[in-house]
């Protein structure tokens, strides 16, 4: 461990911290929005969490407020950054049991007024299109590509890829965000097929509705419409990291429907 890295704090007792030690989780894009909410829930449940973000100091600041967490600089668009960050997280946590692929950018990067003044795809700047796809799709691929061989060598692991509602993928004015998320979902399903029966599981997790994050600022929210709090992601992501989720593979779970999904699974009502 480099002398520049702060010492990891002790994880709290909880469902993700058993006799063998805490579950070790890498959360990409963990400094805000859904990523921060999931990192918080995991840490508070006892997991040892590596919070990552493009800004190393910001990642470290967020991690400092969470038990058992470390902050790691990671730009998911950059192969060398991904390699360094995974190396650091693996070394400092002593391994990675679960990857939460969450880092992403939204429509604001190409059209700040996308909620009130949507643009046709032909009006989207090419550089903006590439930047969104490189983050939301290529980024998922690069981090999973780096982590998966380590998990296979370790005998298992879990990958949770964060998704969005299907309507977002074909909504007017949502190029390039919609196609980037459709691509990441297709990537996840292929990953799950490739990893079937290997001990490494892959699942999709989505909020289940529009959520208040940095991608959707409060001043752009239409009046009279209800939006989800990012904390909705906490219960399902903690469950996916737990012993109860062992063997769960190639599922698409909406956080808003998680309680019912889990009841149906427990009672055998799901096909």
Domain that holds residue 117: 17-267
pLDDT at res. 189: 98
In a domain, 6, yes or no: no
Residue 126, φ and ψ in degrees, nearest 5: -60, -45
Nearest one of 95, 76, 46 to 136, comparing CA atoms: 76
Mean pLDDT computed over every residue of the chain = 90
Give 187-246 pLDDT, tens digit per residue: 999 999 999 999 999 999 999 877 666 555 555 555 555 788 999 999 999 999 999 999
| Segment holding 67, helix H or strand E | none
In a domain, 12, yes or no: no
Nearest one of 216, 141, 205, 212 to 177, comparing CA atoms: 216
Look up residue 110 and give its two tokens: 């190409």
pLDDT at res. 13: 84
Which pLDDT band, with edges at 50, 70 and 90, does 2 fall under?
A: very low
In a domain, 1, yes or no: no
Check whether 269 has a pLDDT greater than 90.
no
Nearest one of 199, 223, 225 to 211, comparing CA atoms: 225
Averaged pLDDT for residues 124-140 = 95
Q: Model-level pTM greater than 0.85?
A: yes
* CATH number of the domain bearing residue 99: 3.40.50.720
In a domain, 55, yes or no: yes
243, burial (CB in 10 Å: exposed 0-12, middle 13-18, buried 19+): exposed
The neighbouring-strand residues paired with 157 are 200
Give 82-130 pLDDT, tens digit per residue: 999 999 999 999 999 999 999 998 878 877 777 777 898 999 999 999 9
Check whether 8 has a pLDDT greater than 90.
no
Domain count, the chain: 1
**For 90, how many CA atoms within 13 A lie in the half-sphere containing its CB?**
15
Which pLDDT band, with edges at 50, 70 and 90, does 3 fall under?
A: very low
Nearest one of 37, 53, 38, 50 to 11, comparing CA atoms: 50
In a domain, 259, yes or no: yes
In a domain, 2, yes or no: no
In a domain, 256, yes or no: yes
Active site residues: 177
In a domain, 106, yes or no: yes
């Amino acid at each position: 461990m480099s002398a520049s890295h702060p010492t990891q704090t002790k994880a709290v007792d909880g469902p993700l911290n058993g006799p063998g030690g805490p579950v070790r989780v890498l959360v990409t894009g963990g400094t805000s929005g859904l990523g921060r909410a999931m990192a918080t829930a995991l840490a508070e449940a006892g997991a040892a969490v590596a919070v990552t973000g493009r800004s190393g100091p910001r990642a470290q600041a967020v991690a400092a407020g969470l038990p058992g967490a470390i902050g790691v600089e990671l730009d998911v668009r950059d192969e060398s950054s991904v390699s360094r960050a995974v190396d650091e997280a693996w070394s400092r946590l002593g391994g990675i049991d679960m990857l939460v692929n969450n880092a992403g950018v939204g429509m604001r990067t190409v059209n700040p007024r996308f909620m009130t003044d949507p643009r046709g795809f032909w009006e989207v700047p090419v550089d903006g299109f590439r930047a969104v796809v490189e983050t939301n799709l290529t980024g998922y691929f690069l981090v999973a590509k780096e982590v998966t061989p380590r998990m296979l060598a370790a005998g298992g692991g879990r990958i949770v890829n964060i998704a969005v509602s299907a309507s977002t993928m074909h909504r007017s004015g949502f190029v390039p965000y919609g196609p980037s998320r459709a691509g990441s979902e297709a990537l996840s399903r292929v990953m799950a097929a490739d990893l079937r029966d290997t001990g490494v599981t892959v699942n999709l997790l989505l909020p289940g509705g529009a959520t208040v994050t940095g991608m959707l600022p409060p001043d752009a929210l239409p009046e009279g419409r209800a939006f989800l709090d990012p904390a909705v992601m906490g219960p399902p992501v903690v469950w996916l990291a737990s012993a109860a989720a062992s063997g769960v593979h190639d599922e698409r779970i909406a956080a808003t429907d998680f309680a019912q999904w889990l009841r149906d699974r427990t009672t055998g009502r799901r096909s």
